[in-house]
Amino acid sequence: MLYWLYEILKSYDIPGAGMIPGISFRSAAAIILSLFITTVFGKKLIRILQRKQIGDEVRDLGLEGQMQKQGTPTMGGIIILMAIIIPTLLFARLDNVYILLMLITTAFLGLIGFIDDYIKVFKKNKQGLAGRFKILGQVSLGLFVVATLFISDDVKVREHVRDENGKYLTMQTNDPVTGEVQEVFVTEEVKSTKTTIPFIKKNEFDYAWLVAFAGDAARWLKWVIYAIAIILIITAVSNAANLTDGIDGLATGTSAISGATLGILAYVSGNIIYADYLNIMYIPNIGELTIFIAAFIGATVGFLWYNSYPAQVFMGDTGSLALGGILAVFAIIIRKEILIPLLCGIFLVENLSVIIQVTWFKYTKRKYGKGRRVFLMSPIHHHFQKKGFPEPKIVTRFWIVGIILAVVTVATLKMR
């Protein structure tokens, strides 16, 4: 929104107005405003939640200190949503399809989470929104994301052109600085279902390869495969973030780490110089997402001011479903979704611990008549609580693991 203000101000030659179009300036402004919203307005919203007695009803799971959290305000995810959406609306270009897609993702999943929390808090139904409706919402979002990537003419990637023998075409041109003749690759912007694979020299994978046997039908069938993959990714990461939100600050801090990493990947993928240097896929107009992810980082870090141990507010499903979905869709847009198991390794382990626990319990119950457990309790952070580890230690160690995974994820740009 303020970007268009610059278009008005530039004719008046106002000092400093020239900074407004810069992505770095607008990203910095977004993160500052996001932090301001979460820390200042967040406090006021927490007081409103307390007055309305919108507290979390904690089940006694036998965990140390758990019942002390009884009555802690929930639905604090509203703070996170405000701190993401408002700065993005103010500082990002709203004619950018990627920005619009991320705003819709944030609002849509936030709404699903809000309905779930509303049913739990106001309708006194501990089950909340039925699981099938959550899945339906996530699947619908996945279909919308695929449709946008398929239909929009603004969604393209720049690829090297090959000849009939599969070799890259080159051309000679003059260097704009030195004037010397140089040889460069011939490129074109195309619709593509390609994505990035880590640790491989030719680090691109095309979903079309999975349906190459289909002949002419592969042209549309590849988008079906792509849609299935996207739906699974969005559903898995969104629900995994929801499972991770079990102890103070864990999901919030982990999301901030993953968001910062995705911001780096988006910046280099949207900068033609860095993309060429790193030999990675260049995606035109993707750099604008740096502003969105800056607001995301500000929102999650700022929310930790009140959500760190001992938490003064819980984000509830309003926040956790949205955080996971945002990370998933963002990674899909910048063609880094295959990096999610590495980058969001904490979410993955939390999800797997529940799957393993439930599957083994059901199997042993059928076979032996009594269910057995792999972990003392799942998700796995509760396992460590049962072993006597205090919450702050568990959260800090999970963050450290998350940072290590983030560093390795960035390193994949060169580790091939």
Q: What is the mean pLDDT of residues 323-352?
A: 94
Those residues whose C-beta lies under 8 Å from the C-beta of residue 218, and which sit 6 or more positions away, are: 208, 211, 212
Q: Which helix (H) or strand (E) holds 354?
A: helix 345-368
Distances (CA, A) of 116 to 18, 75, 245, 318: 45, 10, 15, 8
Q: Are 231 and 139 in contact (CB under 8 A)?
A: yes
| Residue 31, domain member (yes or no) | yes
- pLDDT value of residue 156: 84
Residue 290 identity: T
Q: What is the mean pLDDT of residues 348-371?
A: 92
pTM metric for this prediction: 0.89
Q: How far is it, in rounded angstroms, from Cα 60 to Cα 70? A: 10
296: its two tokens: 């995301």
| Residue 206, domain member (yes or no) | no
Q: Is the pLDDT of residue 194 over 80?
A: yes
Range of the domain at 38: 2-149+215-270+284-351
| Residue 15, domain member (yes or no) | yes
**pLDDT tens digits, one per residue of 215-250:** 888 888 989 999 999 999 999 999 999 999 888 899
| Residue 379, domain member (yes or no) | no
| Residue 142, domain member (yes or no) | yes
Which of 67-76, 127-136, 150-159, 298-307 has the highest average model confidence (pLDDT)? 298-307
401: its two tokens: 């693991």
Residue 278 — pLDDT band, cuts 50, 70, 90?
confident
Those residues whose C-beta lies under 8 Å from the C-beta of residue 52, and which sit 6 or more positions away, are: none
| Residue 243, domain member (yes or no) | yes
- pLDDT value of residue 321: 93
Q: Which helix (H) or strand (E) holds 134?
A: helix 131-151
Residue 398 — pLDDT band, cuts 50, 70, 90?
very high
111: its two tokens: 């709404």
Total count of residues recorded for the chain: 416
Please report where in the chains the tokens 């009140």 appear, as a residue: 306
Give the CA angle between residues 159, 163, 165 to the nearest 5°.
Answer: 120
Q: Is the pLDDT of residue 12 over 80?
A: no
Q: What is the mean pLDDT of residues 134-152?
A: 93
Q: How many domains does the chain have?
A: 1
Q: How far is it, in rounded angstroms, from Cα 312 to Cα 304? A: 10
| Residue 398, domain member (yes or no) | no
Q: What is the mean pLDDT of residues 130-157?
A: 91
| Residue 226, domain member (yes or no) | yes
Cβ neighbours, 10 Å, residue 60: 8
Q: Cα 377 from chain centroid?
A: 27
Share of the chain above pLDDT 90, in %: 49
